[in-house]
């Protein structure tokens, strides 16, 4: 029988908020996780991005905090949610306010890149829920602005991403001062030995939920691969956006400077675009995200720092403008489309120098990304402006001849010589 949120016996205020958003049926990760957390167990959740895991831990925490009300002392928190990026922290608070509307749960968000004074002020009275990134949280802890003697819930979200971003030592320092008696939740898209070690140190007899195999891709995402010379990528992106009348797309670049170049090229083609990356101020990043969400910007260009920090159901397309160095990031990037049960498209651009990265991605997802021969042939015919030709090579070997070939299907041409 299909489960509904009503079966979890959540508070009426929470159910009304879910109904208002049109959420009736929980996702698989929610259906399995929420009852476990409502019963007070610790939990390890293995779930890729786009599966609805934020609500998996937020809904039970909101319910339990509101049902068993306690006054928090200055600088204290009842629930701590640790997350890797500013965007994700802000997004979790948005969801907290949405699901907890009418329950008067105080909350605060702390992250770096902005003044700490407003964050310190928010913590003076204490809050029910604190959502934080590790670096700024440690700063506030050392200054005595965050104290954990009232802590009841601890969530370590996107644990694998935390490790990728070099937060392991910060996380260990934070965990060390948390009280032993608390309900702990750890969510991760993958489960490495390092994460298992962390889990063993903070979880007590945890239940485990895994809704999809590790490093797999969402079934509703239609993936495709296009071989294209590096210098032709801007032209190809422009043609696809115009031809398909794309209104909302995410474009992922490997570097910060690459993001800015892509935006500059798109704007030359009269396509509205904005970028978010580590060199942008928090205000600029929030403005770019807001304008993307409300449709003022067609294309949002981002580095992998944003791959797990954007939850916008209306994203139609994800472009891997550069194949990621870390193959696991491919899964997180394309997971930005096909949200909330919708379908989506993910197109990867690959030039000659990226073939090894492509092989690593396909090994990780355990399948080949389908080649779009039509677009690959079309990319070969694109003409560069005279000023950009420079020392452009005579063409990629994979795109020569009447039809583009998939280099993954090439057989070895030379046999080992006999000695």
pLDDT digits (tens, 9 = 90+) for 60-99: 999 999 999 999 999 999 999 999 888 889 889 999 999 9
Distance CA 288, CA 90 (A): 14
User: Residue 114: its pLDDT value, please?
Assistant: 87
Does residue 394 carry a pLDDT above 50? no
pLDDT at residue 212 in the model: 62
Q: Say if residue 282's pLDDT is above 70.
A: yes
Average pLDDT over residues 160-188: 90
Do the Cβ atoms of 396 and 229 come closer than 8 Å? yes
How confident is the model at residue 377, as a pLDDT?
A: 95
Give the CA radius of gyration of the chain: 23
Domain regions of the chain by residue span: 5-210, 221-409
Q: Which pLDDT belongs to residue 138? A: 96
According to the model, what pLDDT value does residue 417 have? 47
Query: DSSP alpha helices (H): ranges in 192-314?
Result: 193-202, 233-243, 256-268, 282-293
Instruction: Name which CATH class applies to 5-210.
Output: alpha beta
Please, which pLDDT band fits residue 306 given cuts at 50, 70 and 90? low
The 3-class secondary structure across 66-134, one letter per residue, is: HHCCCCCCCCEEEEEEECCCHHHHHHHHHHHHHHCCCCCCCEEEECCCCCCHHHHHHHCCCEEEEEECH
Q: How far is the C-alpha of 201 from the C-alpha of 178, rounded, in Å?
A: 12
Is the pLDDT at 130 greater than 90, yes or no? Answer: yes
Q: Which of 46-60, 125-139, 164-178 has the highest mean pLDDT?
A: 125-139
More confident: 133 or 408: 133
Ranked by mean pLDDT, the top range of 47-51, 211-215, 220-224, 280-284 is 220-224
Percentage of the residues of the chain whose pLDDT score is greater than 90: 60
CA–CA separation, 219 and 15 (whole Å):
28
Model confidence at 211, pLDDT cuts 50, 70, 90, reads: confident
Scan for tokens 């259906």, then name that residue.
Answer: 31
Look at 153 and 196; give whichever has higher pLDDT: 153
153-156/127-132 β-pairing: unpaired
Cα 4 to Cα 30: distance, rounded to the nearest angstrom: 10
Please give the pLDDT value at position 395.
Answer: 43
What the block records as the tokens of 100 is: 């907890």
Instruction: With a cut of 50, say whether residue 1 has pLDDT above it.
Output: no
Q: Choose the most confident range, by mean pLDDT, from 146-150, 161-165, 329-333.
A: 146-150
Rounded mean pLDDT, 333-340: 73
CATH topology of domain 221-409: Rossmann fold (3.40.50)
Mean per-residue pLDDT for 368-386?
Answer: 91
| Distance from C-alpha of 154 to C-alpha of 157, rounded to nearest angstrom | 10
Alpha helices in 178-281 (DSSP H): 193-202, 233-243, 256-268
pTM confidence score: 0.67
For the chain, the average pLDDT equals 86
Element (H, E) at 300: strand 299-302
Least confident span in 93-97, 98-102, 342-346, 372-376:
342-346
Nearest 5 degrees, angle CA 274-CA 282-CA 143? 165
pLDDT at 209: 92
DSSP conformation letters of 13-39: HHHHHHHHTT--S--HHHHHHHHHHHT
SS3 letters for 330-388?
HHHHHCCCCCCCCCEEEEEEECHHHHHHHHHHHHHHCCCCCECHHHHHHHHHCCCCHHH
Where does 119-242 show beta strands of DSSP type E?
Answer: 127-132, 153-156, 183-188, 207-210, 221-227
pLDDT score of 340: 54
- 63-72, 139-148, 331-340, 390-399: the lowest-pLDDT one: 390-399
Q: Is the pLDDT of residue 362 over 50?
A: yes
3-state secondary structure of 317: strand
397 is written with which tokens? 């070997």
- Summarize pLDDT for 256-266 with one digit per residue, the tens: 999 999 999 99
Q: What is the pLDDT at residue 396?
A: 43
Q: Is the pLDDT of residue 105 over 50?
A: yes
Would you say 86 and 285 are in contact if contact means Cβ atoms under 8 Å apart?
A: yes
């Amino acid at each position: 029988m299909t489960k509904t949120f009503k079966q979890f016996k959540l508070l009426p205020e929470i159910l009304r908020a879910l109904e208002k958003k049109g959420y009736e049926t929980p996702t698989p990760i929610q259906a399995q996780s929420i009852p476990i957390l409502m019963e007070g167990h610790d939990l390890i959740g293995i779930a890729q991005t786009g599966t609805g895991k934020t609500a998996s831990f937020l809904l039970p925490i909101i319910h339990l905090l509101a049902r068993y009300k306690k006054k928090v002392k200055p600088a204290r928190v009842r629930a701590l949610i640790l997350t890797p990026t500013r965007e994700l922290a802000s997004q979790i608070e948005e969801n907290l306010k949405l699901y907890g509307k009418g329950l008067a749960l105080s909350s605060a968000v702390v992250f770096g890149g902005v003044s700490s004074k407003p964050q310190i002020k928010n913590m003076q009275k204490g809050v029910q829920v604190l959502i934080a990134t590790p670096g700024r949280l440690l700063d506030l802890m050392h200054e005595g602005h965050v104290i954990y003697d009232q802590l009841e819930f601890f969530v370590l979200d996107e644990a694998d991403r935390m490790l990728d971003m070099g937060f392991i030592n910060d996380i260990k320092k934070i965990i060390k001062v948390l009280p032993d008696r608390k309900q702990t939740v750890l969510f991760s898209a993958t489960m490495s030995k390092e994460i298992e070690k962390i889990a063993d140190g903070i979880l007590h007899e945890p239940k485990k939920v895994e809704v999809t195999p590790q490093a797999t891709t969402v079934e509703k995402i239609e993936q495709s691969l296009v071989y294209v010379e590096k210098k032709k990528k801007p032209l190809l992106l422009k043609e696809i956006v115009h031809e398909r009348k794309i209104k909302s797309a995410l474009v992922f670049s490997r570097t910060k400077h690459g993001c800015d170049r892509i935006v500059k090229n798109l704007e030359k083609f009269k396509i509205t675009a904005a970028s978010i990356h580590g060199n942008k101020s928090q205000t600029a990043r929030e403005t770019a995200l807001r304008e993307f969400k409300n449709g003022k910007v067609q294309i949002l260009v981002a580095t992998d720092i944003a791959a797990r920090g954007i939850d916008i159901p209306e994203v139609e397309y994800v472009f891997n403008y550069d194949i990621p160095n870390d193959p696991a990031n491919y899964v997180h990037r394309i997971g930005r489309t096909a949200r909330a049960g919708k379908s989506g498209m993910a197109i990867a651009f690959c030039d000659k120098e990226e073939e090894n990265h492509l092989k690593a991605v396909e090994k990780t997802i355990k399948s080949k990304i389908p080649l779009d021969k039509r677009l690959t042939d079309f990319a070969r015919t694109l003409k560069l402006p005279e000023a950009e030709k420079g020392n452009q090579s005579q063409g990629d070997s994979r795109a020569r001849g009447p039809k583009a070939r998939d280099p993954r299907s090439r057989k070895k041409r030379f046999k080992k010589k006999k000695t």
